[in-house]
Structure 1
Amino acid sequence: DTALQKPREVFRLPTDLTAYDNRLCASIHFSSSTWVTLSDGTGRLYLIKSGKRGNNASEKWEIVFNEELGSPFIIPHSVSYVKSDTHSVAVLLLRVEKDELDTKGSGFHITLEWVTIAEISKEGDHRYEIFKRRVLQGKSVPHYAAVEPSGDGLMIVSYKPFKFMQDEDDKSEENDDAKAANEKKDPLYYWQQTEDDVTITVHIPQDITKDDIKVLFSPDNISVTLKDQLPLMKGKLHSSVDHESCTWIIRESKSLEISLIKKNEGPQWPELIVGDTRGEFIMDSSQCSEIAESLMHLTSEVM
């Protein structure tokens, strides 16, 4: 059962690449069981419909999109998904480029281009076109980079951070985001966690005393009220707690510190109160290292 079958050709690049001097090795990523993204190493991206691979001895791959996208790149990840009845493929392109402005460092920077290709139907004509291109830039090759299964975001683990670069299409959108950011208030609370507990810190007014604070714990909910006003925090916790062991104190810095004891030790909470975005999660350096190590098995030694 483990013997390899005789190799058969399913695809051949349509262009002779020997004339290209500065090309990279070709790279391929299987976006799904029926879709493939391919870089020929010269800067051209192919989207290929493979059909159900391995089911047919006469299987041939069909190019549905190919376009020159600038300097050579490799493909670390791609994903196929359907949203609002439209099929799309999101693909990451990784490049190492010279940085003329970097006179004190390596002289290079890393770019991750996030390209979304979508199916377009016009008068019975079905074809694939680039829907959106976004570029991120950083100073180190990521240990791990992937598009979320829904195509809505990226997951990047890197020694140095990546940031989005502005282009003409995104200027108005980024200006709106900047305006919203300026209007954004400070987080209502900060929280951090270990395998055993969750600690919440809430800044309170100077005139608030212990008698003005009312904190209610239940196995699945929390409520924090100041001076009989509407609850400052209230809602369903991400996971159950040992409510009889939960405590709270007032620190000298006029902050309320709440300690929640997890009922199920170990799992990390992605949020504190379900649907509440007013808090900010604080991750310590040891947790960052643990998460990076847990993702290392998903990567190869050489990107």
Structure 2
Amino acid sequence: MEAANCSLQVNRQLLDPKFESYKLSLDPLPCYTLQLDSAVAEVKLRDDQYTLDHMRAFGMYNYLHCDPWYQDSVYFVDQLGRVLNLHVTLDTTLGKPNEVFRLPTDVNACDTRVCASMHFPSSSWATVSDGTGRLYLIRTGSRGGSSSEKWEIMFNKELGDPFVVQHSVSFINSDLHTIELLLLWVEKDESDLKGSGFHVSLEWVSITSVNNTNDEKYEILKRRVMNGKSVPHYAAIESGGNGLMIASYKPFTYKSGEGSHIEESEEEKMEEDENRDPVYIWQQTVEDLTVTVPLSEGSAKEDVEATFSPSHFSLQLKGQAIALSGPLHAAIDHESSTWAIKDSGSLEVTLMKKDEGLMWPEFIVGDKQGKYVMNPDQSAAIADGLMHLTSEDLNPDPDKEQPACNAQELEECDILLEDSTSLCRFSSSSMKATHVVNLGSNQYLFSVVASPEEMPCFCLRHDVDALLWQPRAAQGDSMWEHIATFNALGYVQASKQDKKFFTCAPNYSYAALCECLRRVFIYRQPTPVATVLYNRKEGRQVGQVAKQQVISLETNEPILGFQASNERLFVLTSKNLFVVKVNSVE
């Protein structure tokens, strides 16, 4: 069954067409600094990790992990292999990050390692990768700053090349505890001679408990691999493990076995058809149509069987796997149509058009074996007809009433390279796409967990705004719900050329982004103002104001991690963890 083509339905009530701008606020925000005992376990890209996919997957990795089940609780890994937790209850009494787990392996001993990663599928479980290729399934018990927090390894296995944990979910199925994980690799692809030489793999791993009265054990139930040519913007498993959603620039396909795909994407099929040598070449004038078919050596007239009718043509060549047959695009004079074998060793078929002057878009209806070649006279005539629309000057007459479009006048936020990004939902049973959304020019901005029981939300740019979408698979064709809007933020963020991380509060009260060094920008939702304000241009009263705040951190180190809660922003550098109090929530 083909995937259903869907669209994202915008909730107009969440849009504000009268939104003016963000007002810069100089109100200071409390910022607290914690100095780390050991540096963060940052992994630099190697010389052989030179592609854009390596940069997206590992070079721009967020080393700070938010625990969605417990507000204001963050985790990171240091160079000693320690998993450290900071849980904030009172800003003025911040303590040192607490060690909750230590990776059993020496991660620094692996030359090919990637960044250690983790995810929290439930309030009492964690999934961890040490960055060397080993996966850990850990029972954490009660987290959230609890003094009894003790992480216990329930399962660990070497899975091959180094990877990062993209997402994980936990649920009970048939009285068995199951944890589904999504792991990401960027692997060398020797068969890719035209691209970067690498491909991206997403492995969906199912780990389930084993009924054992003496000891609780876990084992891998299923492993499924999907391959693609770009790192996904968004990839998450549905809460019940029934499906998978991926937003990516280039499509992902299920890999059923070593080197074999169950389903080939439409894009790959089209690319394969384009690369295949054409069976025939055809040209046309206003009066006739000429088809040229290459013949094998030694072919004679007796080997050719050609049949003409007013609306149909068929051709069979003995000894060759060439067969053309089907309805013609338009009627021909079949009595005047002929064929002949040329000295060049090819068969030339001439079809006389019934309606002179009609240009055919195709030869045989639906046939994709041939290639159309326009004759030089037609090409020159079309070029002359379009000459008045083009010019060697970018803007030859800027003073005229409707000047020509000048590409140099476009702002950076108007240029979208990945205009073919799609959002696909795959079924866990068939691993085939069931729903597809063409995101087009809706630029992907970030993802965030609004509710830990549901899939992560993703934020897209729609015109100038940034719209937050919550996936809900149970809603069928309307499985993506527009839940919040950040006015004009799609336009504003495009001007931040040095931006590194982008996120928002789980309650959508503010959005925040940080640059590679030092600066953090906060954009608050519009709130009522106590004083009376008027718009100077229109003279109308302004009832709400959206504020922008800028924070400059006291550090010269690159920002490695960035997370937001409803009350606080957490910013991680190699040697410091900054806590910014943004809201006071009662």
Band the TM-score falls in, shorter-chain normalisation: 0.5 to 0.7
1:15 to partner: Cα distance? 1.4
Give the whole-Å Cα distance in 1 for the aligned partners of 2:207 and 2:174. 15
Give the whole-Å Cα distance in 2 for the aligned partners of 1:16 and 1:137. 30
| Conservation of the 8 A alpha-carbon contact between 2:142 and 2:148 | no
1:2 to partner: Cα distance? 3.0
Give the whole-Å Cα distance in 1 for the aligned partners of 2:201 and 2:501. 19
State which of 68, 81, 84 in structure 1 corresponds to 2:158: 68
Pairs within 5 Å for 1:1-303: 1-3=90-92, 4-54=94-144, 56-167=146-257, 285=438, 289-290=441-442, 292=444, 295-296=458-459
1:54 to partner: Cα distance? 2.4
For residues 43-92 of structure 1, what are the alpha-carbon distances to aligned partners after superposition, in whole Å with 9 as ceiling and x for unaligned? 00000000110253142100000000010000111111111221111111
Give the whole-Å Cα distance in 2 for the aligned partners of 1:53 and 1:281. 37
Give the whole-Å Cα distance in 1 for the aligned partners of 2:172 and 2:125. 13
Q: Secondary structure at the match of 2:458?
A: helix
1:288 to partner: Cα distance? 5.0
Q: Which moved more, 1:7-16 or 1:140-149?
A: 7-16
Give the whole-Å Cα distance in 1 for the aligned partners of 2:234 and 2:440. 14
For residues 125-153 of structure 1, what are the alpha-carbon distances to aligned partners after superposition, in whole Å with 9 as ceiling and x for unaligned? 32111010000000000000011111111
Q: Secondary structure at the match of 1:10?
A: strand
1:292 to partner: Cα distance? 4.9
Aligned letter for 1:19?
Answer: A
Q: Secondary structure at the match of 2:126?
A: strand
Give the whole-Å Cα distance in 2 for the aligned partners of 1:50 and 1:11. 9
Aligned letter for 2:157?
Answer: E
1:17 to partner: Cα distance? 2.1
For residues 135-189 of structure 1, what are the alpha-carbon distances to aligned partners after superposition, in whole Å with 9 as ceiling and x for unaligned? 0000000000011111111110000000110138x99xx69xxxxxxxxxxxxxx
Give the whole-Å Cα distance in 1 for the aligned partners of 2:155 and 2:97. 26
Q: Secondary structure at the match of 2:115?
A: coil
From the superposition, tell whether residues 90 and 281 of structure 1 become closer, same or farther in structure 2 (CA, over 3 Å).
closer
Query: So what's the TM-score if we normalise by structure 1?
Result: 0.58
Unaligned runs of 5+ in 2: 1-89, 264-433, 446-456, 461-467, 469-499, 503-559, 562-586
Q: Which moved more, 1:111-120 or 1:57-66?
A: 57-66
Give the whole-Å Cα distance in 1 for the aligned partners of 2:501 and 2:127. 19
- Number of matched residues? 194
Q: Secondary structure at the match of 2:227?
A: strand
| Conservation of the 8 A alpha-carbon contact between 1:136 and 1:162 | yes
Give the whole-Å Cα distance in 2 for the aligned partners of 1:99 and 1:28. 27
Q: Secondary structure at the match of 2:225?
A: strand
From the superposition, tell whether residues 300 and 141 of structure 1 become closer, same or farther in structure 2 (CA, over 3 Å).
farther
Q: Secondary structure at the match of 2:171?
A: strand
Unaligned runs of 5+ in 1: 176-279
1:27 to partner: Cα distance? 0.6
RMSD: 3.0
Q: Point out 4+ residue stretches in structure 1 off by more than 4 angstroms.
A: 280-283, 287-294, 297-303
From the superposition, tell whether residues 121 and 102 of structure 1 become closer, same or farther in structure 2 (CA, over 3 Å).
same
From the superposition, tell whether residues 2 and 300 of structure 1 become closer, same or farther in structure 2 (CA, over 3 Å).
same
1:300 to partner: Cα distance? 5.5
Higher relative contact order (CA 8 A, sep 6+): 2
Q: Secondary structure at the match of 2:108?
A: coil
Give the whole-Å Cα distance in 2 for the aligned partners of 1:155 and 1:79. 13
Give the whole-Å Cα distance in 2 for the aligned partners of 1:112 and 1:48. 21
Give the whole-Å Cα distance in 2 for the aligned partners of 1:158 and 1:124. 45
| Conservation of the 8 A alpha-carbon contact between 1:144 and 1:296 | no
Give the whole-Å Cα distance in 2 for the aligned partners of 1:295 and 1:58. 34
Q: Percent identity?
A: 55
Give the whole-Å Cα distance in 1 for the aligned partners of 2:441 and 2:240. 26
Give the whole-Å Cα distance in 2 for the aligned partners of 1:121 and 1:77. 26
Aligned letter for 2:235?
Answer: A
